[in-house]
Structure 1
Amino acid sequence: MSEPGESTDRVITPVPRITMQAFCESAEVAAVIEAASRDRRMQKAHSRVQMGGATAAVEAFRNAPTPNVIVVEIGAGRPNPLSALDSLAEVCDAGTKVVVVGHVNDILLYREFIRRGVSDYLIAPIDPVATIAAISDLFTDPSAEPLGRTIAVVGAKGGVGTSTLAHNIAWSVARDFGTATVIADLDIAFGTAGLNFNQDPPQGVAEAVFAPERVDANFVDRLLSKCTDNLSLLAAPATLDRPTDFAEGTFDGVIDVLRGSVPCIVLDMPHAWSAWCRRLLIGADEIVVVAAPDLASLRNARNLFELLRSARPHDRAPRLLLNGVGMPKRPEIAVAEFAKALDAPVAAAVPFDPALFGTAANNGQMLAEVQPGSKVTEILSELAGGLTGRPEARRGRVNPLQPLLDRLTRRKAS
């Protein structure tokens, strides 16, 4: 029995390609289900919402096949809710799942519903996220591993250090929190993850997107390049032999495989705006927008935030990461003013440190390998913890020689 206000911190598995029809008695429940059907996690499902409750459902399917899921609201004033459900059962095809939205928190009634084959019982008032989770759970194997969390890192403009920060966030998630992580470099033509991790893998993400029919867990696993014990790289070829104007759903297969294989996937998004970029960004579980403290970044970040707030009404707002703050002699928009103009807090402000960033880039190292205890490293570790739901890094357990050991591991792997 699903209670209203359930925790939404867990990653909800996107609902597969199903048909769903809802029959509501109240405008409030209908509005919630309509909102849920427009959510990013329901984009593959074909949904329809209408009024009339169980009576309308029975009439609708008396001479028609039933969908994969029927959601039916049974109001508190109905004298015999079980008889309404029994009438619906007479017209339901085998395999159709029924979710009841009720207004009575009664465990005996719930048990009777379940005994009659109801898949779930939601107690009104319901909310969109709990509704999505209930429908998703109908098609999720309870014995399967929890779905991996996707973190999309996107730049408000070019040249703000998006890729460098994406790679270091993934590194921090893997090292500071011991979480198996994949960094996916999605800038097919100009990606820099291979350089930043000092890797030159013969295969990578291009093999997956140019041959989607081959994508499965074993195939994707062969494309990954091991960076450390907990961090793997899905590299971009960084060549110009083929254009990258992919179809909207080109990356769906490889992302689905990764989500089913590892707890965390960091998407290094290219600075582009195409149908597939928009789809990946909106579909991510967490979004980091990287910006410089200047006017162009502010304008573009505002546009991104407005679009993402509209397209993801039931998700956490994107996190704003200001990079290169405090460059000498450069006029800047103050951090507080940037946040005020954007109407969003600054999740992290990374100070200008050209020596640290330049050394790491030229050596193919992560920032923590160059200066393990630097302020920048601590800032990114805290951000990584927030993105994964664990704000405190296990710094006390980190071996001070770990950056060197990780470096040796990468050399051996390459």
Structure 2
Amino acid sequence: MNTIKYDIAGSSDEDMAPEPVRASNLEQFRPLPRISVHAFCITDTVLAVMEEVSRDRRMAKVSTRITSGGISAAVNMFAGAPTPNLVILETDSKPEDLLGDLAPLAEVCDPSTRVIVVGRYNDIALYRELMRNGVSDYIVAPVSMADIIGALSSIFIDPDAEPLGRSVAFMGAKGGVGSSTIAHNAAFMIASLFASQTILADLDLPYGTANIDFDQDPAQGIAEAVFAPERLDEVFLDRLLTSCSQNLSLLAAPSLLDRTYDFDRGAFLPLLETLQRSAPITVLDVPHGWSEWTLALLAEVDEIVLTCVPDLANLRNVKNLLDALRRLRPNDKIPHLILNQAGMPKRPEISPGDFFEPLEMQPAAIIPFDTQLFGNAANSGRMIAEIDAKSPTAETFSQIAHLVTGRVSAKKQKKSGLGTIFGLLGRK
């Protein structure tokens, strides 16, 4: 039979079958490049897994086609059509028959096409034989999403490539809830605490406040990156950044009304990719809204933080946002919630316990209303930690920084800041 040729670095007769990827989540995997994948499934279980895989945000650039049928269906299809970058084949063939069953496929596959076989038998001798004959991977059923995406990543993502930076989007459940202020302070704390290069991108082009909050007046910023995507690379991005503090750079919004700001669905995605290649952490200050470009961006980021205040409209909006984001990101963690401006004098409020009970989740933080502290910081162009580093609010921002970067779980923190804040949930 003609051998299907693939580049399998290091495979030999002595290679052992690798341990399958059994991740509890998919966060360890990077987004896949633009490739075409055609899966042939003979069971409803694998077909359902492939459908879930095709909807995952890491597969956004992948053109995926799923067909009911096995090896013979693939042979019939590719006899008169070009093969994709990758073919995934589910088979129930016995080990002694599998190579013979694959032989007709080798006759119709392009030399550059890669093949993953999903089989029933955990047989190392079979695995070695398949590797020698050019199969890229052999996975033993039952398979999970992590198995499939892990196999795709091992084939199409260079293991020596620089890791992508982590992206965190902050968005308000309603206008005026303080999401931007929280995003700016969180970015400052991330850069300060971890001595990690951090970029804060203000995506509210007409009304962004990051330049005011950091007392900056840059001549260029995010508008140049969004409106000239053909020029966008790490070098061009570096020219647009403004240094705010050690390790923190700002991609400022123009905050001008000299034009309208209507964007296509993918307008900010090239910028996000460039930001992730340029810094370990990117904080995105996303304006309150619900548009095609907002949805596309929220589908791609690693973490989402929703800010709300304790009233009925915010509760409704948070519930709607959580439901929508669960549908948009079914395989990712739910967003973190921050309850801001709690305890405003003379304002009727929903208590924290009553606010979060219908949501069936706890907040990442509850930040008390403190007009003097936040007002002084805003008017002086400084962050809360610069105004009063020992304040409980500064400690809260420190723990938010730990939480969104995955450095420490909030629940493991000492009995201050978030630990004390969680106790407020029991108060009525």
Both proteins in one fold, TM over 0.5? yes
Tell me which amino acid in the other structure corresponds to 1:140: I
In the alignment, the residues of structure 2 paired with residue 167 and residue 82 of structure 1 have an alpha-carbon distance, to the nearest angstrom, of 58
Q: Does the 8 A contact of 1:129 with 1:314 survive in 2?
A: no
Q: Superposition pairs for residues 51-200 of structure 1, below 5 Å?
A: 51-75=68-92, 77=94, 79-200=96-217
Q: Does the 8 A contact of 1:11 with 1:147 survive in 2?
A: no
TM-score by length of 2: 0.87
Aligned-residue offset at 1:134: 2.6
TM-score by length of 1: 0.90
**Deviations along 1:149-195, whole A, 9 cap, x unmatched?**
11111100011100010111111222112222111100000001111
In structure 1, stretches of 5+ residues that fail to align are: 396-414
Residue in 1 that maps onto 2:305: 288
Question: 1:231–1:83: structure 2 CA closer, same or farther, 3 Å change rule?
Answer: farther
Q: Does the 8 A contact of 1:4 with 1:123 survive in 2?
A: no
Tell me which amino acid in the other structure corresponds to 1:131: I
**Deviations along 1:333-358, whole A, 9 cap, x unmatched?**
12122111122221111121222111
Aligned-residue offset at 1:77: 4.9
Q: Secondary structure of 2:34's match?
A: coil
Among the aligned pairs, what percent are the same residue?
51
CA RMSD of aligned residues (A): 1.9
Q: Superposition pairs for residues 392-411 of structure 1, below 5 Å?
A: none
Q: Does the 8 A contact of 1:11 with 1:149 survive in 2?
A: no
In the alignment, the residues of structure 2 paired with residue 87 and residue 97 of structure 1 have an alpha-carbon distance, to the nearest angstrom, of 15
In the alignment, the residues of structure 1 paired with residue 26 and residue 148 of structure 2 have an alpha-carbon distance, to the nearest angstrom, of 14
Q: Does the 8 A contact of 2:94 with 2:121 survive in 1?
A: no
Aligned-residue offset at 1:130: 3.7
Residue in 1 that maps onto 2:339: 322
Tell me which amino acid in the other structure corresponds to 2:407: R
In the alignment, the residues of structure 1 paired with residue 125 and residue 183 of structure 2 have an alpha-carbon distance, to the nearest angstrom, of 51
Alignment partner of 1:297 out of 292, 309, 314: 314
Aligned-residue offset at 1:37: 0.4
In the alignment, the residues of structure 1 paired with residue 28 and residue 246 of structure 2 have an alpha-carbon distance, to the nearest angstrom, of 24
Q: Which range is displaced more, 8-17 or 39-48?
A: 8-17
In the alignment, the residues of structure 2 paired with residue 2 and residue 239 of structure 1 have an alpha-carbon distance, to the nearest angstrom, of 55
Aligned-residue offset at 1:17: 2.5
Question: 1:85–1:263: structure 2 CA closer, same or farther, 3 Å change rule?
Answer: farther
1:241 aligns with 2:254: no
Q: Secondary structure of 1:346's match?
A: coil
In the alignment, the residues of structure 2 paired with residue 173 and residue 108 of structure 1 have an alpha-carbon distance, to the nearest angstrom, of 49
Residue in 1 that maps onto 2:328: 311
In the alignment, the residues of structure 2 paired with residue 390 and residue 62 of structure 1 have an alpha-carbon distance, to the nearest angstrom, of 52
Alignment partner of 1:218 out of 219, 235, 249: 235
In structure 2, stretches of 5+ residues that fail to align are: 1-17, 414-428
Q: Which range is displaced more, 370-379 or 70-79?
A: 70-79
In the alignment, the residues of structure 1 paired with residue 189 and residue 128 of structure 2 have an alpha-carbon distance, to the nearest angstrom, of 46
Aligned-residue offset at 1:282: 1.9
Q: Secondary structure of 1:57's match?
A: helix
Residue in 1 that maps onto 2:245: 228
